[in-house]
Amino acid sequence: MSKQKRCVYYFGMNLETDPAAKHIFEAVEKTGKDLTTTNQMIDEWPVLEYKDEQDNIIHFVRTQRVIWHDLDCYLPIMKEHFEGYDFGGLITWHEGDNAPDKIFSIHSAGDPLSGNFGPANAKYMRNLMLSMEKNRVALGMDDYTVTTEATHWSSIVYSNAAAERVLEYNVPIVDIEIGSSPEAWANPDAAKVIANALFDVFNSDGKNIVHLLCAGGIHFEPSFAGAVFESWDNNAFGVSHILANQWLVGGAYEEESGLEKIENCIASIVGGIGGIAIHDKMKGTYKEQFRILGAKYNVPVFKHQQLKRPKDIAWKKQP
């Protein structure tokens, strides 16, 4: 019998500080799923519980403020009540200068500049992305896109947190976002896409997942997002931590310390990695760092274009 898995989702319910999460939580309540009210209270709300057909548990937690925006308040609560979970998600909004609109995005937590990376689970991220895509299509949202973002952690900005504090919560946690305009944040169908997908975190298509470390490119790198939807034979790519080019440059990854940062990233990916995908436009000094570690971990290092041709990748046999 397989081990019962547990997931927790956090929703900042104040629309003035998070213009999307409350809408998504209300969409969760309208899914018709059998949600049980527990005796556990966080802020002023009881935690809701859902059990799937495999007896896995999903908890839905409402908070007054966005958890990453008040880390001193919420991290102790997260550690006390939801430590040791298999996966977690902050349900929130996305915005930013030049940010693409009409997106459903997901990204892992970490600070590439300092080399501090929270645990990441590519399998469950993939399950969510596949479900978001399925629900996007089902609702006819042809102008929306499911995408990844490069790894980052907003507590550094909003809570002035030290980067190493991302290591204190030992749960693979992602931000799951609607972006990047008021129209998108309040779109009821967009809320439904996310809400429906949240229940599929442990629903797998049964493929063998090859975990990747992705490096280079832009913050919303389409080749890395697209890799999640590629498959060959009974294999598929799992994408979690993505080191965008701006972080590699800002973090001086060409230096010897860059190797340690990359190794920290690899160590944080649950199940290890089976390959390293590097953007072809990355400068050679950075590429060399990933090639060094590809040889050390006996995994192929290949250009991002090959993600569309996975059978052409020189997969290495494990000793």
| Cβ partners under 8 Å of residue 142, min gap 6 | none
Mean pLDDT of the chain: 97
**Which band of pLDDT confidence, cut at 50, 70 and 90, is reported for residue 38?**
very high
Confidence at residue 109, expressed as pLDDT on a 0 to 100 scale: 98
If we measure between CA atoms, which residue out of 114, 123, 50, 68 comes closest to residue 258? Answer: 114
CA distance 198 to 319: 37
Which residues have CB under 8 Å from 317's CB, separation 6+?
A: none
Place of tokens 């274009």: 305
pLDDT in tens, 84-120: 999 999 999 999 888 999 999 999 999 999 999 999 9
Read off the pLDDT of each residue in 45-66 and give the average, rounded to a whole number.
Answer: 97
Query: Taking 70 as the threshold, does the pLDDT of residue 1 lie above it?
Result: no
Tens of pLDDT, residues 173-227: 999 999 999 999 999 999 999 999 999 999 999 999 999 999 999 999 999 999 9
Beta bridge partners of 146: 104
Residue 200 burial (CB count, 10 A): 19
Is it the case that residue 319 has pLDDT exceeding 70?
no
pLDDT value at residue 131 = 98
Percent of the chain with pLDDT over 70: 98
d(CA 54, CA 58): 12
Amino acid 97: pLDDT: 84
> pLDDT band at residue 244, thresholds of 50, 70 and 90?
very high
Residues whose CB falls within 8 Å of the CB of residue 158, separated by 6 or more in sequence, listed in order: 66, 68, 69, 70
Tens digits of residue pLDDT in 273-308: 999 999 999 999 999 999 999 999 999 999 999 999
